[in-house]
Amino acid sequence: MADAKIYTASTTAPVNIAVIKYWGKRDTKLNLPTNSSLSVTLSQDDLRTHTTAACSSQFSADSLILNGEPQDVSGARQQACFRELRSLRAALEAADPSLPKLSTLPLKIVSENNFPTAAGLASSAAGFAALVRAIADLYQLPQSPTELSRIARQGSGSACRSLFGGYVSWEQGEAANGSDSLALEVAPASHWPQMRAAILVVSAAKKGVSSTSGMQATVATSALFPHRANVVVPERMVQMKQAIRDRDFETFADLTMRDSNQFHAVCLDTSPPIFYMNDVSRAAIRVVEEINRLAGKRVAAYTFDAGPNAVVYYLDENEDLVLGSLKGGLKGVPGWRASVTAEGVQGLDQGLLE
């Protein structure tokens, strides 16, 4: 009789917010980027996806439930992750015939975010990272986080960086098959435990132009874009890694804000133009620039992804100054506080900035 056992494994993956942005693919099928990128992983106490992967001959087909809603698994991204993980498991089974043949069984994935989905935060990164990690655990794969990042990348580019905590680079690589386009740890969170991130939820609405289609339009139409991808970002990657190694917040903040602004500049240079920031986003920029001007040095750094919500990085010692000024300058905007350290803030600290 066939084995009807249900095999399961559960895991969590964190959200990451890029300080040097990924924007542009050189290969849309394999999700290979036009430039390297670098992110800070937020604490899993605050923002994370929890995923359980199960497989059994009792299941009729592969399925995925996200926050209680069934999702389509026939898309190329999910299929690529399932296919690659199954083939790694099949190799283990071929080497050791005593192992159960999990690679041939239908998969059932159940995923939940611990932060309000309405917050419109980067959930695809944590989602695909958790999906890949959960299936890898289910299959008891020996592959390292960097090797798994190559698979998560095919789900969503930014997901490859959520296989690690702390400070993570995604090296663009050169190989046509994507074998060297993967995530590396620049430094663990414990290297710079004073780092904090405040998330200002300017709008909970779904973004108008998805990252995937927005970046393709930029690559196809922006005249500024080749300069960013080929000249500016390679220099900034080197400088940002050094700033993190040196725990040099002023340089970290300068590069973070410049890179966010340049990313939104190439969006504006796209035809038709893409606007992700709104008036409240620009007000947040002005408040942070003013905080830094009054402090006489950079004590806060804003960054915006493909939407209007701000993430503001600062050091613990400046928390009262930065959060107090943001509250004063942005009355009525919801704020979440997260931390990049495991031992930092407990739980999600949410409230209106008022």
Contacts with ligand DP6 in 201-220 (CB under 6 A)? 211-212
Burial of 296 (0-12, 13-18, 19+ CB in 10 A): exposed
Residue 44 is a binding residue for ligand DP6 (CB under 6 A) = no
Cα–Cα distance for residue pair 88/201, rounded to 1 Å? 40
Residue 49 is a binding residue for ligand DP6 (CB under 6 A) = no
Of positions 158, 162, 270, 339, contacts ligand DP6 by CB under 6 A: 158
- Residue 13's SS3 state is strand
Interface region with ligand DP6, contact rule CB under 6 A, candidates 99-107, 151-159, 187-195, 228-236:
151-159
Closest CA to 47 of 353, 337, 328: 337
CB of 173 to ligand DP6, least distance (A): 14
x/- letters, 185..204, toward ligand DP6 (CB under 6 A): --------------------
The residue (of 8 and 212) whose beta carbon lies closer to ligand DP6 is 212
Strands of the 349-353 sheet, one edge to the other:
300-304, 310-315, 195-200, 333-339, 349-353
Cα–Cα distance for residue pair 346/45, rounded to 1 Å? 6
Interface region with ligand DP6, contact rule CB under 6 A, candidates 152-160, 183-191, 309-317, 343-351:
152-160
The residue (of 113 and 325) whose beta carbon lies closer to ligand DP6 is 113
CB of 122 to ligand DP6, least distance (A): 6
CB of 117 to ligand DP6, least distance (A): 15
Helices (H), the chain: 76-95, 123-138, 145-155, 211-221, 225-227, 233-245, 249-268, 279-295, 319-329
Residue 81 is a binding residue for ligand DP6 (CB under 6 A) = no
Q: Residue numbers of the site for ligand DP6 (CB under 6 A)?
A: 18, 21-23, 31, 37, 122, 124, 156-158, 211-212, 305-306
